[in-house]
Amino acid sequence: MPELPDAGSLPARLTPRDFDHWNDLVTASDDAADREVVAPYTGDAFCTAPESTPDDVATAVADADAAQSRWADRGFDARTDVLERFHDLVLDRREELLDLMQLETGKARGDAYEEVMDVAMTSRYYATRVADQLASERRRGALPLLSTARVHYDPVGVVGIIAPWNYPLTLAVGDALPALLAGNSVVLKPAEETPYTALATVELLREAGLPHDAFQVVTGDGATLGDPLIERVDYVSFTGSTAVGRKIAAKAGEELVDCSLELGGKNPVYVRPDVDVDTAVDRAIGACYTNAGQLCISAERLYVHEDVYDEFSRRFVDAVADLEPGTEYAYGVPVGSLISESQLERVEAHVEDARDHGATVETGGRVRDDVGPYFYAPTVLTDLPRDATAACEETFGPVVNMEPVASDAEAVRKANDTDYGLHACILSGDVDVARAIARDIDAGTISINDGYVTSWAAHDAPMGGMKDSGLGRRHGEDGVVRFTEKKAVSTSRGLPFDPVTGPTDLEAKVLAAGLKLWRHVPFLR
């Protein structure tokens, strides 16, 4: 039996009963093993969640499959009504959700607030756009007047979602929303560290009118549950590390199941010489230290034009040194905790390796266990050699390497000198020049004069990674069409020749002449 939290270990708006109820939403047998869930602010296990088994995955997918066609049959209007009610519920219950996210992840409240806003905006965006985006549409047939084609966007069936811990609301549910609107059911495997944010959100979806079986949650070990899930679902939406993404892609290939992979990054910021330095420092801090750097699109490489390097670097290091972490369940704390001991060890190892390679630690570079067991001081490195781990591998923590560049061209070359291609940020007084530079940077999304929010919150534009940062795109039309099977229905009104014997001499000549003419008629091209 799962162990429930003591009321004293919970933030004020949450009760032990909430967790009991959320545990009941997991597809797991009554005698399931338990897994401890840890509160990063204290390092203590505050609750245990059931550990689903591969058999539970089979049950979850079968139940989701049974519910799917009834959900799809409700049509767009009924489905968008559910999402619109969900939109309001997420905003109304935001304080409880923020408490829960802070409890599970140790993030600052402002970082959690971004998730609430994001999920509400995603709901609104797809609820208002999906009927157009997935409307059956007419396409050109093979021959003008003699044939027509129509494309239909059918739901794929059951969508499997495997999510990470760093944005437990946005990344567990944000992709599920368009999947559901397209008429699919969903089976979600949230990260081991953050089951409850996902479960609380599923509860809100059900309260908004989503049929219970249309959204199943299995919790527990990714390596155990991943394969059984991929074997049974009709599409896999994965967000997480590049290493696990490769395994998901291999298994999806074996099963011939389509997938999208939103993976890691090693994102650059380029500070041009024409910036207002104060504004650039603010934006760069947002780009680098949001969510204590545990954000796939946050920056870990800072290239500063040499004309402003001295002034920018001085002010930037001072401002980073002033970022005081905290554990309050209140707005105004700039930096929260890392998620876990293993994440802390990874960050420490990257900084120690940087020191061993001769890098200078300008500020930070130490554990802040005076605040909480997994806190790490926001850190700026300089003189980091290319072969140091932190120069090329994703740290996924509050650690940034800063170096001067002599030109836009050098900045672009260095920005592209990575296996990743998720996001980049350009800070410049000249937007036209920044836009031209953006065209040369190999990244799926690029934010100009903003750390990352401008890109992420552009819900109408596709978002995803180049190179080792992933496959496929979320957001926009791409973000919902991926959850459909495109079906093309073509109708013949009679071929201009006998389909068995082929054309006669005359028909062949007429057809060839017709094709030649066709190329020159703009209306028919």
**Which residues form the catalytic set?**
262
Provide the residue count of the chain. Answer: 525
Of the two residues 183 and 264, which places its CB atom closer to ligand NAD in the complex? 264
At its nearest, how many Å lie between ligand NAD and the CB of residue 208?
24
Q: Collapsing DSSP states into helix, strand and coil, what is residue 472?
A: coil
User: How far apart, in Å, are the Cα atoms of 26 and each of 1, 2, 175, 225?
Assistant: 13, 12, 19, 14
How far is the CA of 36 from the CAs of 3, 44, 176, 309, 375, in angstroms? Answer: 9, 9, 26, 47, 20
With respect to ligand NAD, which residue has the nearer C-beta, 260 or 313? 260
In the complex, what is the shortest distance from the CB of residue 333 to ligand NAD, in angstroms, rounded to a whole number? 22
Min dist CB 291 to ligand NAD, Å, is 10
State the helix-helix crossing angle for 94-105 and 195-207, rounded to 10 degrees: 160
C-alpha closest to that of 238 among 216, 258, 222, 261: 261
DSSP secondary structure, 293-338, as one string: G--TTSEEEEEEEHHHHHHHHHHHHHHHHT--B---SSTT--B---
What are the residues binding ligand NAD (CB under 6 A)?
A: 162-166, 171, 189, 191-192, 222-223, 226, 239-241, 244, 247-248, 262-265, 296, 394, 396, 422, 465, 470
Give the CA radius of gyration of the chain.
26
Minimum CB distance to ligand NAD, residue 162 (Å): 5
**Closer CB to ligand NAD, 155 or 464, in the complex:** 464
Taking the C-alpha atoms of residue 360 and residue 421, their distance in angstroms, rounded to an integer, is: 26
Question: Closer CB to ligand NAD, residue 221 or residue 328?
Answer: 221
Listed residue (258, 119, 239, 138) closest to 178, CA to CA: 119
Shortest CB 279 distance to ligand NAD, Å:
27
- Residues 326, 361 contacting (CB under 8 angstroms): no
Q: Which is nearer to ligand NAD, 175 or 213 (CB)?
A: 175
Nearer to ligand NAD, 312 or 376 (CB): 376
Q: Write b or e for each residue in 324-357: b if 16 or more Cβ atoms lie within 10 A of its Cβ, otherwise e.
A: ebbbebeeebbbbbbbbeebbebbbebbebbeeb
CB of 444 to ligand NAD, least distance (A): 9
CA distance 375 to 427: 29
Nearest CB to ligand NAD, comparing residues 147 and 241 = 241
CB of 473 to ligand NAD, least distance (A): 10
Q: Please, which residue, 165 or 483, has the CB nearer to ligand NAD?
A: 165
Residue with tokens 């892609």: 249
* Shortest distance in whole angstroms from residue 160 CB to ligand NAD: 10
Q: CB within 8 A of 222, min separation 6: which ones?
A: 162, 189, 191, 192, 240, 244
* Residue listed under structure tokens 């972490």: 325
Contact 346/301 with Cβ under 8 angstroms? Answer: no
Angle at 428 between CA 286 and CA 300, to 5 degrees: 40
Number of H helices, E strands in the chain: 19, 20
